[in-house]
């Protein structure tokens, strides 16, 4: 299989290397003959984000020979591909060549029109921007990658490795993908999604002292019942006024906000303490380990135990 990887001035060495790292290992392992090269608008060289000059870059015409085209990243949000690149991508896509957008590379696929009416993912910091620029796309911020067969997108940075291993798995089988992953010392298939890595700060947009007081009260009493009557009482407001003001300040309902704060505290305890799961469920207000697990999996795509193994800071 022939794989063309798009390169541009300012691309990071990591993003450029991921497809080569995974796909070239297929050839090195003897599983299949896969050829990978860099291409750009002009042949010659590019200058990476780290300041290195990288030569051996082929021109756009080389993409006409590819069986797979990978856009490993992108310049930045909001910058559309040039007309010549778009023409090549659309022509190859119409010819049945799959197009893969890793990390911010999803922007190029979106601008080319490949993702209209479909789900897509990009780096979690750029999901809102992508959704705003392309409301016709259903952006899924928690996924590691999404494969539609003819187009594929992945989440940020290291998720590109997961996506490339998925391509190996779908074309050559799990045994080869596992062999490649083992050589690279990475998981053949990671559990969960990038939701596990998203920082979720306490968000109170309003300077309203009453809502801030209710939020502070909630954070100090996470293990206790925190229904609307109790939070409204802490804010010294009627329940109806409190719910309306709370949503205006935080962008969420009181119940959703409290649940997110409890999950934040649970993540901290999983990372920094040796408390048993049932005890963490109790001190964060989930009541039972079953309820805690269900909410944790729904939010982060991983069980509490798996999350602790991956992120234990001790």
Nearest one of 22, 19, 26, 21 to 4, comparing CA atoms: 19
Over its C-alpha atoms, the chain yields an Rg (Å, rounded) of 23
Which residue segments constitute the domains of the chain, with CATH numbers given?
Answer: 2-197 (3.40.50.880), 209-311 (1.10.10.60)
CB atoms within 10 A of CB 119: 13
pTM (2 d.p.):
0.69
Q: Count of alpha carbons within 13 Å of 8, Cβ hemisphere only? A: 16
DSSP run (H or E) holding 164: helix 159-172
DSSP run (H or E) holding 177: helix 174-184
b/e per residue 128-164 (b: at least 16 CB within 10 A):
ebbbeebeebebbbbbbbbeeeebbbbbbbbbbbbbb
Q: For each of the chain's 314 residues, which pLDDT tens digit applies?
A: 999 999 999 999 999 999 999 999 999 999 999 999 999 999 999 999 999 999 999 999 999 999 999 999 998 756 889 999 999 999 999 999 999 999 999 999 999 999 999 999 999 889 989 999 999 999 988 788 999 999 999 998 889 999 999 999 999 988 899 899 889 988 776 766 676 566 555 555 444 688 888 998 999 999 999 999 999 999 999 999 999 998 888 778 899 989 989 998 998 899 889 999 999 999 999 989 999 999 999 888 889 999 888 777 66
Helix, coil or strand: residue 120: strand
């Amino acid at each position: 299989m022939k794989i063309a990887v798009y390169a541009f001035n300012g691309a990071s060495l990591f993003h450029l290397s991921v497809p080569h790292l995974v796909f070239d290992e297929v050839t090195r392992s003897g599983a299949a003959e896969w050829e990978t090269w860099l291409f750009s608008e002009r042949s010659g060289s590019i200058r990476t984000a780290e300041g290195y000059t990288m030569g051996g870059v082929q021109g756009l015409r080389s993409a006409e020979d590819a069986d797979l085209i990978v856009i490993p990243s992108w310049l930045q949000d909001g910058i559309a591909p040039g007309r010549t690149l778009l023409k090549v991508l659309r022509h190859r896509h119409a010819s049945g060549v799959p197009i893969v957008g890793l990390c911010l590379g999803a922007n190029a696929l979106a601008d080319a029109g490949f993702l209209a009416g479909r789900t897509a993912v990009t780096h979690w910091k750029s999901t809102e921007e992508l959704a705003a620029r392309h409301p016709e796309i259903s952006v899924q911020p928690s996924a590691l990658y999404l494969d539609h067969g003819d187009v594929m997108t992945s989440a940020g940075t290291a998720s590109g490795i997961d996506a490339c291993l998925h391509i190996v798995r779908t074309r050559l089988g799990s045994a080869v993908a596992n062999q490649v992953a083992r050589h690279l010392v990475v998981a053949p298939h990671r559990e969960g999604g990038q939701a596990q890595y998203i920082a979720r700060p306490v968000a109170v947009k309003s300077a309203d002292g009453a809502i801030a007081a209710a939020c502070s009260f909630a954070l100090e009493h996470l293990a206790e019942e925190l229904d609307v009557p109790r939070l409204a009482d802490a804010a010294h407001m009627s329940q109806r006024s409190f719910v309306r003001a709370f949503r205006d300040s935080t962008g969420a309902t009181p119940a959703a906000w409290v649940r997110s704060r409890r999950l934040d505290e649970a993540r901290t305890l999983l990372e920094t303490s040796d408390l048993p799961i049932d005890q963490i469920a109790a001190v964060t207000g989930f009541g039972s380990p079953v309820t805690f697990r269900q909410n944790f999996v729904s939010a982060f795509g991983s069980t509490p135990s798996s999350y602790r193994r991956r992120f234990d800071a001790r």
